[in-house]
Amino acid sequence: MTSAASSELTTRLLAGLPESAVVVDPGVTAAYRNDMAGFCAAGQPAVLVFPTDVEQVQHVLRTATELRVPVVPQGARTGLSGGANAVDGCILLSLVKLDRILELDPVDRLAVVEPGVVNAVLSRAVEEHGLYYPPDPSSWESCTIGGNIGTGAGGLCCVKYGVTAEYVLGLDVVLADGRLLRTGRRTAKGVAGYDLTRLFVGSEGTLGVVVGAVLALRPKPAPQLALAAEFPSTEAACAAVNAVVTAGYTPSLMELMDAVSVRAVNRLAKMGLPESTKALLLVAFDGPERQREVGEVAELCRAAGATEAVPAEDAAESELLLAARRLALPALETLGTTMVDDVAVPRSRLAEMLAGVAAIGERFGVAIGVVSHAGDGNTHPIVAFDAKDPEQVARAEESFEAIMALGLELGGTVTGEHGIGVLKKEWLARELGPVGLELQKQMKALFDPLNILNPGKLF
């Protein structure tokens, strides 16, 4: 974008935004160029804007349409696929200042929020009303509801409670031309027309900009009671997972860590786990029978080959156990630069996935730690490498590609909850096939005919 065009863009934006909401300082805009996906390309934005209400967002989109300028919506930029990365000459549209909880309704069990509300802030607010918002990504203390909706985020409690899409009842969306669209409902049931709400969830800002959401809530459950089971192999741990599911249990959480991630967390948190631990399975229950269920699942783990299966004695001890899982990514980051994958496979193929990832790590000579939402088959292989070594970078990228290929071979998907962004565009095409890809591109063109909304993402 030429300096004259950039100046016109800024002038036009300032006609509907306060001066403090429009930032052109390259030192500041550079800090907002990308999300947490370290190896995804990011362009040079023309301007960064911080609207504080829906009308200001509409003004930004109308201006972008009139001037044919791309717009990249952003939340807290905690994503791991480059979905919030800038493209050259774009408007970075940060929604973090639309951060109000507009309504909490304990009768209809719903919340009405703006997109910049932080997940943990909402969770604590609804808890005061005896309610619960289940989706809890690992970055829940900083990620925003708008970002969660954009990527279709999940979390540790998906095995029992499901992912973000299952809690979004309705949306307010500003379209590319600035029109405001309202989708969905506030009622418990509703099947009128096409389900546009679900279409926007997981669309990564390519169809419209979410400026409000009606979210379903649940009654607040009892505090979780957890157990930690140590296994001599991932195969044995996966056998325990299958045994738990087959026996009819529905834990609130079931997380598995492989040997690489266990060792990394052990070093960081000084957990004192023996080096013989090749897999750690964390299982928790939050129902009225949680004490009994934890004890019975401990027996199933022992029968599957666990060397130790230790139930927590209370909620506080449970939280200490679960803290180890939340430390997995920071712990693996101590091994070098990380490239985080997000492959989900059928639960019955989880053991094959973990064994395959271990073989890929050996083949390419890179450290790969895997943490998994074992209850739903969603794995997060995390490749650690030296970013200053071109040869290691090449091997890391090759291993990343091999992991995604393995996931598809096992009947899985290349992303369970992180999204496609720029990281997995080629793999989305492979997963969808030519007909599916063409239909998705046609939907994109219907909502965004000028291709100004987060261009270069997904396709």
pTM for this predicted structure = 0.95
Q: What is the CATH number of domain 101-219?
A: 3.30.465.10
Q: In this structure, what token pair is assigned to residue 362? A: 């050996």
Euclidean distance between CA atoms 159 and 381, whole angstroms:
19
* pLDDT for 270 beyond 90: no
pLDDT of residue 321: 84
- The CA radius of gyration of the chain, in Å to the nearest whole number, is 22
pLDDT of residue 325: 86
CATH fold label, 3-94: 3.30.43
CA-based nearest residue to 350, from 159, 83, 133, 209: 159
CA-based nearest residue to 366, from 341, 387, 384: 384
CA-angle at 442, arms to 437 and 448, nearest 5°? 125
pLDDT of residue 272: 78
End-to-end CA distance of the chain: 23
CATH fold label, 225-409: Vanillyl-alcohol Oxidase; Chain A, domain 3 (3.40.462)
Secondary structure (3-state) at 29: helix
Q: For residue 64, what pLDDT band results from cuts at 50, 70 and 90? A: very high
Mean pLDDT of the 248-263 span: 96
pLDDT tens digits for range 300-359: 999 999 999 999 989 898 988 888 888 888 999 999 999 998 999 999 999 999 999 999
Mean pLDDT of the 114-142 span: 96
pLDDT of residue 18: 97
Euclidean distance between CA atoms 379 and 344, whole angstroms:
6
Residue by residue, DSSP assigns 306-334 as: -SEEEE-SSHHHHHHHHHHHHTHHHHHHT
Q: Which residues make Cβ contacts (< 8 Å) with residue 177, sequence separation at least 6?
A: 61, 62, 65
CA-based nearest residue to 374, from 351, 405, 340: 351
Cβ atoms of residues 332 and 348 within 8 Å:
no
* pLDDT for 384 beyond 80: yes
Mean pLDDT of the 292-296 span: 97
Residue 169 identity (one-letter amino acid): L
* pLDDT for 4 beyond 90: no
Of all residues in the chain, the percent with pLDDT exceeding 90 is 89
- The domains of the chain are located at 3-94, 101-219, 225-409
Q: In this structure, what token pair is assigned to residue 212? A: 């409000």
Higher pLDDT, 244 or 327: 244
Q: In this structure, what token pair is assigned to residue 171? A: 């949306």
Q: In this structure, what token pair is assigned to residue 91? A: 């408007």
Cβ atoms of residues 447 and 175 within 8 Å:
yes
In three-state form (DSSP H/G/I as H, E/B as E, the rest C), the secondary structure along 76-113 is CCCCCCCCCCCCCCCEEEECCCCCCEEEEECCCCEEEE
pLDDT tens digits for range 20-41: 999 999 999 999 999 998 778 9
* pLDDT for 2 beyond 90: no
Q: In this structure, what token pair is assigned to residue 160? A: 């029992």
pLDDT of residue 320: 84
Residue 440 identity (one-letter amino acid): Q
